[in-house]
Structure formats: C-alpha cells, structure tokens
Amino acid sequence: MGIFKKLPGLTIAEFDSTGSLLHAAEKMAEAGYEKYDCHSPFPIHGMDKAMRLKRSPMGYIIGTMGTIGMTGMIALTYWTNTYGYPMVISGKPAFSWQAFIPVIFAISILLSAFGAFFGMLALNKLPQLFNPIFGSDNFAKVTNDGFFVSVEANDPKYDEGNVKSFLESIGGKNVEVVKGE
C-alpha cells in the first residue's frame, strides 16, 4: 500500500509505422480513452497533439529551480562579503556584484539542470523498474523498431473485449492482454 500501489493490467496492440501510430493516437483520443499511451523507440513529431496531451509543466519546475539558485547565490555572496566575512580584496567594494556573476550564473544553471533531470524523472514516475507491460515478450520490440498502443485496465472506458476490437479496428496487430500485479 502507500506509494506502492498495485499496477493495473494492460491491453497492448502493435502498429507498423510512425504514421499508423499517430493515426491510432488520434483515434484513441477521439474515442475518449484516458489511460492509454503510445510507445515508440523515439519521440514522434506531432504525437503530443494527436494524443491531446496537456503541456508539460517542466518549464515551471526548471524556472523555479533556476530562480532559487540565482537568488540563493546572490544572497550568499551578498551576506558573506558584507556581513559574514567582509574583506577588502583588490580594492573592490564589499558587494562587487560584477565579480560574483560567474558563481551566480553557475549555480543558477546547476539548479536548473537538477530541475530538468529530477523533474523529468518525477513526472515520468521513474525509476520504476517493474511494470506489467514488460510481461509481454513482443513489447521488447518497443526499444528497437516496434510501435505500440497500450490501454490500462483502470481506464474508465476499459472493457477487455471492446478495447481489443477497437484496437484492431484502428489497425492494431498482435493484440495482447497483459495481467496486472
């Protein structure tokens, strides 16, 4: 229990090209499925639109992290040089901001990078080493040259028979049901 919720089973279907996967995605969105995904070995141009996905909130995460880095470093250089440990070095004023630009810049970048990396992992719920979908042997092709649509069993519209026939009707092959945990 807790964060270790049981993962639902899925129905997966294979498609033969990027074009047909994109087409299938449009149909899935049209039919009102919610918990489905389109798997491919590489990102496909236009897929977000076809699946009617909301914009990724990554920009906000990264922006926030970068801002924290910048303000934090400005505060640190200001405080250490004015109050914490003020020293006159090369005759410059206590808060000689020009000289602090490099460190402020570096830390802003560093925290933005952390935002991008950890934000991506968090949004994608990774690492998640196990997923029922790996139970399908055919699905291993997705990292090679396979294109798949998967529908999770907890989708409000999920019904094994209907999903199967729907996937076949939009061009899916090798339709397969994978059991959940």
Partner 1 sequence: MSSNNKDLTDLKFQDELLFAGNPTFGSVTEDVSKVVETKPGQLWYVLFGISVSLTLMLFSMIGYLFWEGTGIWGLNNPVGWGWAIVNFVFWVGIGHAGTLISAVLFLLRQRWRTSINRFAEAMTIFAVICALLFPTIHVGRVWLLYWVLPLPNQMEMWPNFRSPLLWDTFAVGTYFTCSLLFWYVGLIPDLATLRDRAKDKWGKLLYGIFSLGWRGGNRQWQHYELAYLVLAGISTPLVLSVHSIVSTDFATSLVPGWHTTIFPPYFVAGAIFSGFAMVMTLALIARKVYNLEHIFTPKVLERMSWVMLLTGSMVGYAYSMEFFIAWYSGNEYERFAFINRAFGPYAWAYWIMITCNVISPQLFWFKKFRTSIPILFIISIVVNIGMWFERFVIVMTLSRDYLPSSWDYYSPTIYDIGIFIGSFGLLFTLFLLFLRFLPMVAMAEVKGVLPEADPHHGGSH
Partner 2 sequence: MNYDANTYTIKDSGKIGTIALVLGVVFLGISVLGYMNDSAHFFLNYLTAYIFWISIALGGMFITLLHHLTNATWSTVIRRITENMAATMPVFVILFIPVVFGLHELYHWSHAEVMDPSSPSFDALLHEKKGYLNETFFFIRTFFYLAVWTFFGYMLRKISVEQDSSGKDYKLTYKKLSAPGMILFALTTTFASFDWMMSLDPHWFSTIFGVYFFSGIFLSGLTFLLILLIYMKSQNILQNVVTIEHYQDIAKFMFAFIIFWSYMAGSQYFLIWYANLPEENYWFLYRWGNTWESVSMLLIFGHFVFPFLTLITRAAKRNIKLLLFMSVWIFCMRFVDFYWIIMPTGMNEDGSRVAFDFNMYDIAPIIGIGGIFFWFFWKQFTANAIVPVKDPSLNESMKFQNT
Phi-psi region of 126 (alpha: psi -120 to 50; beta: other; left: phi over 0): beta
Residue closer to partner 2 by CB (options 11, 112) is 112
Interface with partner 1 (CB under 8 A), residue from 103, 138, 169, 180: 103
Least distance to partner 1 from the beta carbon of 88, Å? 10
Largest CA-CA distance found in the chain, in angstroms, rounded: 80
What whole-number distance in Å separates Cα of residue 66 and Cα of residue 69? 5
Least distance to partner 2 from the beta carbon of 67, Å? 14
115-142 burial: b if 16+ Cβ within 10 Å, else e: bbeebeeeeeeeeeeeebbebbeebebb
Q: From the CB of residue 92, how many other CB atoms can be counted at a distance below 10 Å? A: 11
29 binds partner 2 (CB under 8 A): no
Q: What are phi and psi of 11, to 5 degrees?
A: -110, 130
Least distance to partner 1 from the beta carbon of 162, Å? 21
Burial environment of residue 3 by CB neighbours within 10 A (0 to 12, 13 to 18, 19 or more): exposed
75 binds partner 1 (CB under 8 A): no
Least distance to partner 1 from the beta carbon of 95, Å? 10
60 binds partner 1 (CB under 8 A): no
Burial environment of residue 161 by CB neighbours within 10 A (0 to 12, 13 to 18, 19 or more): exposed
Determine the interface stretch with partner 1 among 1-9, 44-52, 159-167, 172-180 (rule: CB under 8 A). 44-52
55 binds partner 2 (CB under 8 A): no
Q: What are phi and psi of 34, to 5 degrees?
A: -115, -45
113 binds partner 1 (CB under 8 A): yes
Residues that bind partner 2 (CB under 8 A): 45, 90-91, 98-99, 101
Residues that bind partner 1 (CB under 8 A): 17-23, 25, 37-48, 51, 53, 56, 58-59, 62, 76-77, 80-81, 84-85, 87, 89-90, 92, 96, 99-100, 102-103, 105-107, 109-110, 112-114, 116-117, 119-121, 123-124, 126-131, 133, 140-145, 150
